[in-house]
Amino acid sequence: MNEAQQKLADSIGELLAQSLLDDEIKNRLLEKMEDIPEHLLFRLKDALEKEREELETVAFDIDIFLKDQDKDWQKVVEDQKKVAGEVTDKWVEKLK
């Protein structure tokens, strides 16, 4: 394996380590790496990079959603406390 092929193999190995692919598939790919044509290795590398990017994008979107939900719930709680305080104040005035 020349230096370029070794860099490609190393890159694929790192991406496979992070991938959600079944371990059996990962191991087979790693074992047979030298037998796989270079054009298929590039396709594999591209697919693994897209998998990682897509997962990062989805995780980021979920994080934003959850933060927005937390802010919305905090606002609801504050609004409910304000309304409860106003109702309590009105009843206190009526009972005087």
Q: Read off φ and ψ for residue 35, nearest 5 degrees.
A: -90, -15
Structural domain span for residue 72: 3-95
Domain total of the chain: 1
How does pLDDT run along the chain (96 residues), one tens digit per residue?
A: 688 888 999 999 999 999 999 999 999 999 999 899 999 999 999 999 999 999 999 999 999 999 999 888 888 888 888 888 888 878 877 777
- The rounded distance, in Å, linking the Cα atoms of 13 and 60 is 25
- Does pTM top 0.75 for this prediction? no
34 secondary structure, DSSP code: G
